[in-house]
Amino acid sequence: MRFAIGRPDPKEAQTGERLSMDMSRPGRRALDLPPLDVPEAPPPPSHLLRTSLRLPELSQNEVVRYFLSLSRLNYSVDSGFYPLGSCTMKYNPKVNEEVASLPGFAHVHPLQQRHTIQGALYLMFHLQELLCRITGMDSSSLAPAAGAQGELAGMLMIKAFLRDHGQSQRNVVLVPDSAHGTNPASAAMAGFQVVTIPSNAQGNVDLEALRETLGPQVAAVMLTIPSTLGLFEPNIQQIAQMVHEAGALLYGDGANQNAFLGRARFGDMGFDVVHLNLHKTFAAPHGGGGPGAGPVCCKSHLAPYLPTPVVEQTDEGFRLTSPPRSIGRLLAFWGHFTVLVRAYAYIRALGEEGLKAVSTHAVVNANYVRTRLKGAYHLPYDRPCLHEVVFSTVRQKAKGVKALDIAKRLIDYGFHPPTMYFPLTVPEALMIEPTETESKENLDAFCEAMLAIAREAEECPEVVREAPHTTPLARLDEATAARRPILHWQGG
Ligand SMILES: Cc1ncc(COP(=O)(O)O)c(C=O)c1O
């Protein structure tokens, strides 16, 4: 057989089973404090002291080894290839971290007086301008704290615009079935009714279905571009025209802008408002829920509704302000400032040509993976993709091996699994985004692993079905782990 099942590292296996409390021995210490050289102070009153707090008693090397082995169980973009489709887990240049931790940025306080934070405000103002240039829009707000919050902001802006123009009866938002899952959720949160538009056999928006659904009730169409199939929408200009002729607005989900940075702009395609994910496209680290930044950029007719704050330049310098018909605040203070700093550093370091190179590499890498794997895995939409490629493992499923099993088996080969079962329009989907920051060698190693797993699915499917074999725990009950997590030590 051509596969090798790795053996768990005994130290790691031990960590999976033994917590620091289990290793605790009474009286053991990690540090000896020097004798007191100040007068002893009485402890706080006993009702303030917790007697039930039990801490592990360990030596220093036990503590260090324990946490080091725990950290080795973690997987991150700094430790390996992380091909999560739609999530763009690309390598983030460390220089951005250094820039963001400069004291003038890291220690700025949101309540500081305006004249003391002109540098920070300049950065925000300039970033607003750069994002408008990149997207082909007129105005922007950096306030939203995540992509989905940018979507919510955009939807609320559209709602407020329609209200001001006597169009409040427009309460329906059309969302193609290839949109990101947060799109219908954001539209619903903004109080719209969501209607799904099907894709056609090529994975594009079905224009006939769109034409039939557009009408006087429709407020907006929300389009993820590229779609969650990793495909560009070739009829985008026609769609924009249809939407506008019907009196509705066009929203763009630009979370995955690394697909066409420097090559195509939302504004030129006819979008009215778009959000970007700085924590993906512009190399601010993310994962685990944040912090992120999902700025909204819009055409001039929506600018009065942008979320608060926006930064404006006056004769007395830069200042934070609220647009005249603003939808208001989305969060306390001014957004995730150091995420903005990282994105700004990234954009300035790369410049126009560098940003263009980002999309070249993102697209070339995804198409490389697509061509290498398409003989082994079913490709539901067999055409060049943009930044990510979606396979279906229906062929393997016929042998009893599901997308989930393949994803788990990749862990044995040392790779983070791709996104699974998304988009919903593709059965047994594996959505792979190699990102622009991986070398050919890394892509080859990943493709070799995927090809080996395809062979295993043919020759010894149980090995894939029972994977992973190299982790302290294998198949967890994920629903119970999420709903009823055990978060504290339960020893005797
Ligand atoms: C296309 C698309 N839209 C929206 C989002 C939502 O962004 P966030 O997770 O920052 O809310 C994502 C996140 O992966 C995305 O890929």
Give pLDDT tens digits for 305-335. Answer: 999 999 999 999 999 999 999 999 999 888 8
Check whether 3 has a pLDDT greater than 70: no
The finding on whether 86 has its CB within 6 A of some atom of ligand 1 is: yes
- Is residue 69, in this structure, part of any structural domain at all? no
Alpha-carbon distance 431 to 448, whole Å?
17
Measure the CA–CA gap between 256 and 230, rounded to whole angstroms. 9
Count of structural domains within the chain = 2
437/465 same-domain check: yes
Q: Are 445 and 80 in contact (CB under 8 A)?
A: no
Ligand 1 in contact with 180 (CB < 6 A)?
yes
Q: pLDDT exceeding 70 applies to what percent of the chain?
A: 96
Give the per-residue pLDDT at 288.
67
Last residue of a domain, one of 350, 374, 407: 350
Q: State the Cα–Cα distance between residues 31 and 104, nearest whole angstrom.
A: 35
* Within a domain: 483: no
257 lines ligand 1 (CB under 6 A): no
What would the mean pLDDT of 259-268 be, rounded to a whole number? 97
Note whether 167 and 216 are within 8 A (CB). Answer: no
- Domain finish residue from 350, 368, 389: 350
Say whether both 316 and 399 belong to one domain: no
Ligand 1 within 6 A of CB of 256 = yes
* Residue 33 belongs to a domain: no
Q: How far is CA 426 from CA 264, 271, 275, 386, in A?
A: 27, 27, 25, 17
Residues 197 and 231 in one domain: yes
CATH number at residue 217: 3.40.640.10
**pTM value surpassing 0.85:** yes
- Choose the residue to mutate in 87, 90, 175, 182 for probing ligand 1, maximizing ligand atoms within 8 Å of C-beta: 182
Q: Is 464 left (phi over 0), alpha (psi -120 to 50) or beta?
A: alpha
- pLDDT: is 486 or 366 the higher one? 366
For residue 148, the CA-to-ligand 1 centroid distance in Å is 6
Whether residue 292 has its Cβ less than 6 Å from ligand 1: yes
Q: Is residue 288 a part of any domain in this protein?
A: yes
Taking residues 124-135, report their average pLDDT: 98
Indicate if 214 and 341 belong to the same structural domain. yes
Tokens 């647009």 -> residue: 323
Domain span holding position 397: 352-477
For the cut 80, the answer to whether the pLDDT of residue 96 exceeds it is yes
- What is the pLDDT, as a whole number, of residue 17? 64
One domain, residues 249 and 105: yes
Distance, in Å, from the CA atom of 175 to the CA atom of 210, rounded to the nearest integer, reads 10
Tokens of 45: 């009153």
Same domain, 370 and 263: no
Question: What DSSP string describes 352-391?
Answer: HHHHHHHHHHHHHHHHHHHHHHTTTSB-SS-S--SS-EEE
Confidence of residue 246 (pLDDT cuts 50, 70, 90): very high
| pLDDT tens, position by position, 16-72 | 568 899 999 999 999 998 999 999 999 899 888 877 778 899 999 999 999 998 888
Of 289, 322, 350, the domain-final residue: 350
For the CA of 290, the closest atom of ligand 1 is: 10
pLDDT tier at 4, thresholds 50, 70, 90: very low
Instruction: Determine which residue's CA is closest to atom 13 belonging to ligand 1.
Output: 87
For range 286-306, the mean pLDDT: 90
Write down how long the chain is: 492
User: How is residue 107 written in tokens?
Assistant: 């220690």
Residue nearest to atom 2 of ligand 1 (CA): 255
Q: What is the CATH number of the domain that holds 380?
A: 3.90.1150.10
Residue 2 has pLDDT above 70, yes or no: no
Residues 397, 320 within the same domain: no
Task: Please give the number of the atom of ligand 1 that sits closest to the Cα of 228.
Answer: 1
pLDDT at residue number 478: 84
